[in-house]
Structure 1
Amino acid sequence: MELRTKQRIALSTYFFLSGICFATWASRIPTIKSFFNFNEAELGTILLAMPISSLIGLPISGWLISKFDSRVPLIVAFVFFSISLTLIGLATTPFLLVVAVCFFSFCMRIINISINTQSITLQQKFEKRVVGAFHGLWSTGGLIGVGFSTLMVKMNISIQIHLLIISILVLLIALIAYKYTLRNDKSSSGNKLILGKPDPFILYLGILIFLGAICEGGMFDWSGVYFKEVVNEEVFTYGYLVFMLTMAFSRFFSDRIVNQIGLQKTYILSSVLISVGMLIAILFPYFWSALLGFCLVGFGTAAIFPVTISLAGTSKKYSPGMAVSIITTYAIFGMLLGPPLIGYLAHAFNLQKAFLVFVILGFMFIPVSYSFFKYHSKNN
């Protein structure tokens, strides 16, 4: 087997495992909400701890990228990532829960930067686009994670046992796959974060991924609650499951879609699918119509992350690792800011009305992507 194939399998494994862990956490949020008897605003406050801890990781992640090959922070962060997932399940007070969630979020940031830096480097060894497939495997891992969570919920398995099982399994597999991850991918230049006027190229991409991340993060953390409290479905993970299924399926074809219709039209298609899908779920909050709406949102969000991260890797100002680190800040901030925002709006109005935020943000892809490609064409 070719070395690049082994490296692709190893990196695919890390995307897959990362997706499992995040989906496991997100799918058990309704359980945590019930255990602590949080209202929507209180749950939103707990979720707000995640972007704060993630932002703290910006200078640290930049330093790690400049000092080490990405495989080193990847494995170290993954060890602590699995430990923090277990700690979330063991938390018995809101304070301990916040500490565990912050730890989880911080490690997730390092992992995301490391695997996306590796994906950009590995892409150079292949003639066809492969980045979308990596993100497809992240979503597939998420699908497996939420599927297993659904099984645990139906079998009344405690959250403590559930999260411990996942933590042990993913850690063992991560340690095995580490041997074949990319080496010597540290860039010799462009590793320094330059403060001052934002680079328009990175800024536009950051806004695009920020919008996509709010939509994804909101679906990850609130789709289960929506199905439980608005759709009144006892097995509340169904909505999350179909969202992850369609997003995972679409990501395996996202590279082909981009090649067929182009980058700018891909953002426009994503915009329409997210907004229309969410409108259907809001206006018709019944089982099958909500499933259809969440399905369209899954299709719409699929290409945003892989396309935007691939574009970031072409930055003339920063190395791929630093460019990914910067826009990942936008992404994580959006993914983790979206859920508490929805929580506060749901507490002030109701969850159904709060979901209108996704409709508005979905349509924002059109003017922002237009501005990015207009800028890009003028400077190339």
Structure 2
Amino acid sequence: MNIGNIAAQAQAPAPLVTRERAAVSLLFFLNGMVIGAWVPKIPLFANALALSESALGMMIFAFGVGSLVLMPIAGMQIARFGSSAVVKVTTLLFIPTIVLVTLAGSIWAGAVAIFLFGGLTGAMDVAMNANAVEVERKMRRSIMSSCHAFWSLGGLVGSATGGILIAAIGATGHVLLLAAVCLALFQVALPMILPDAPHPSEKAAGGKLPLTPLPWLIGLMALFSMVPEGTVLDWSALYLRNELGASTAFSGFAFAAFSLTMAILRFAGDFVRDRFGAVKTMRFCAVAAFVGLVLAGQAPNVTVALIGFAIAGVGISNLVPIAFSAGGNVPGLAPGIGLSVVTTMGYSGILFAPSLIGFIAEHTSLSNVYTAISALLLVVLALSGLARHADRVQGD
């Protein structure tokens, strides 16, 4: 009887809050805050370098190229050194890149800066997600939705304060303050980051792609969920400013509204999924995201657009965490392999697709763009039955 009690205690989940969970949550928040602060800077970046919408699209494309170049390199370094070592290095390198983007004085300097900004964003993203997985394993709890919620909360803080601070202390003052805050948060998180061992087996399997279509279809769900998210991130400020007449200080509130509802629903995501199941949760989220994007795209004024972006945030909130969880639980496939397919496809949507919007926007309007991309959520809805694999994390 005593042996049974000892075994049960050994398998019991850890407390809800641990030092390691706090550390990885801070890293997600830090990354999200920098990306959120980038949103109100985008119009200023375009104006400073005299970029057209198509040229700005090319710059955003360089951001995506940087991410997809450095993301697999980060993955290989995680296999070699462990996620804790890589997340420490990538975070320290990531923070100064927002300063470089702000101070870039020529198109070529801007291209190099935004390539590094995107590359180290992606590298840090891979490392902190990998460390979150390690924390999940130690805690025997799902924490991924809440980690992504902290990213959204950081995005909310960064975007909501960015325009106001730029107007108050200028773009340079804002970015120096941002970097100082990020360094302080990193110092708080640093001693609490969960140390983990290298993963040589993942390195050995890294070049093998699965032949079964299931992870690719789940990856398609992640892709079509993250294209709208990337479009809101990169183009919502310009949409409010250029087509709905919002001020610079107010333009960042589109992404702020989106991030607020996304953060709230992601904090509740684990509970909702446990209560209703991954399939029902994904279907509700896909419908809400569709409605929100159509409302934002057809908005007659800024207020209606903000409501639309807020509803879209409700919908998109848990689509990606569920897809990632499903990808890591594909039957007959190593978790790392399935998850690598889904995350790569998903992040290509948030990194590359928005760069094409600049070319499209020159021939139509961002209003039409937001309305059109809502159709992607209908594909997610059609494939939502595949989300059942996300529930295997509970069943196994």
Tell me the TM-score normalised to structure 1 length.
Answer: 0.91
One of 169, 185, 193 as aligned partner of 1:181 = 193
Q: Give 1:12 deviation, angstroms.
A: 0.9
Q: In structure 2, what is the Cα distance between the partners aligned to 1:127 and 1:135?
A: 18
Q: In structure 2, what is the Cα distance between the partners aligned to 1:341 and 1:364?
A: 20
Q: In structure 1, what is the Cα distance between the partners aligned to 2:29 and 2:150?
A: 5
Amino acid of the residue matched to residue 31 of structure 2?
A: S
Q: Give 1:10 deviation, angstroms.
A: 0.8
Alignment partner, residue 279 of structure 1:
294
Q: Indicate how the Cα distance of structure 1 residues 21 and 287 shifts in structure 2: closer, same or farther if over 3 A, else same.
A: same
Q: Give 1:20 deviation, angstroms.
A: 0.6
The answer to whether 1:165 aligns with 2:177 is: yes
Alignment partner, residue 94 of structure 2:
81
Larger Rg: 2
Q: In structure 1, what is the Cα distance between the partners aligned to 2:361 and 2:232?
A: 14
* Residue range with higher mean Cα deviation, 186-195 or 161-170: 186-195
Alignment length, in residue pairs? 376
The 5-angstrom pairing of residues 118-137 of structure 1 reads 118-126=131-139, 128-137=141-150
Q: Give 1:88 deviation, angstroms.
A: 0.4
Alignment partner, residue 327 of structure 1:
342
Alignment partner, residue 111 of structure 2:
98
Alignment partner, residue 365 of structure 1:
380
Describe the SS at the equivalent of 1:144: helix
Q: In structure 1, what is the Cα distance between the partners aligned to 2:116 and 2:389?
A: 40
Q: Give 1:82 deviation, angstroms.
A: 0.8
The answer to whether 1:254 aligns with 2:266 is: no
Describe the SS at the equivalent of 2:251: coil
* Runs of 4+ residues over 6 Å off in structure 1: 1-4, 374-377
Q: In structure 1, what is the Cα distance between the partners aligned to 2:25 and 2:390?
A: 33
Describe the SS at the equivalent of 2:201: coil
Amino acid of the residue matched to residue 174 of structure 2?
A: H
* Residue range with higher mean Cα deviation, 57-66 or 12-21: 57-66
Q: In structure 2, what is the Cα distance between the partners aligned to 1:324 and 1:61?
A: 15
Per-residue CA deviation, residues 232-289 of structure 1 (Å, 9 max, x unaligned), is 1112122222111111111111111111221112221121111111111222231221
Describe the SS at the equivalent of 1:28: helix
The 5-angstrom pairing of residues 227-242 of structure 1 reads 227-234=240-247, 235-242=250-257
Root-mean-square deviation (Å): 2.5
Q: Give 1:314 deviation, angstroms.
A: 2.9
Q: Indicate how the Cα distance of structure 1 residues 206 and 7 shifts in structure 2: closer, same or farther if over 3 A, else same.
A: same
Alignment partner, residue 360 of structure 2:
345
Alignment partner, residue 245 of structure 1:
260
Contact 1:152 1:162 in 2 (8 A): yes
Q: Indicate how the Cα distance of structure 1 residues 3 and 376 shifts in structure 2: closer, same or farther if over 3 A, else same.
A: closer
Q: Give 1:16 deviation, angstroms.
A: 0.7
Larger relative contact order (CA 8 Å, sep ≥ 6) = 1
Per-residue CA deviation, residues 280-301 of structure 1 (Å, 9 max, x unaligned), is 1222231221111111101011
Alignment partner, residue 38 of structure 2:
25
Contact 1:71 1:178 in 2 (8 A): no
Q: In structure 2, what is the Cα distance between the partners aligned to 1:186 and 1:367?
A: 39
Alignment partner, residue 7 of structure 2:
none
Which ranges of structure 1 fall in alignment gaps of 5 or more residues?
A: none
Per-residue CA deviation, residues 337-365 of structure 1 (Å, 9 max, x unaligned), is 22212211111112211222321112111
Q: In structure 2, what is the Cα distance between the partners aligned to 1:135 and 1:197?
A: 26
The answer to whether 1:63 aligns with 2:103 is: no
Contact 1:112 1:328 in 2 (8 A): no
Q: Give 1:203 deviation, angstroms.
A: 1.5
Q: Give 1:376 deviation, angstroms.
A: 10
Q: In structure 2, what is the Cα distance between the partners aligned to 1:230 and 1:138?
A: 28
Q: In structure 2, what is the Cα distance between the partners aligned to 1:283 and 1:144?
A: 27
Q: In structure 2, what is the Cα distance between the partners aligned to 1:195 and 1:170?
A: 37
* Residue range with higher mean Cα deviation, 48-57 or 245-254: 48-57
Q: In structure 2, what is the Cα distance between the partners aligned to 1:12 and 1:371?
A: 28
Which ranges of structure 2 fall in alignment gaps of 5 or more residues?
A: 1-13
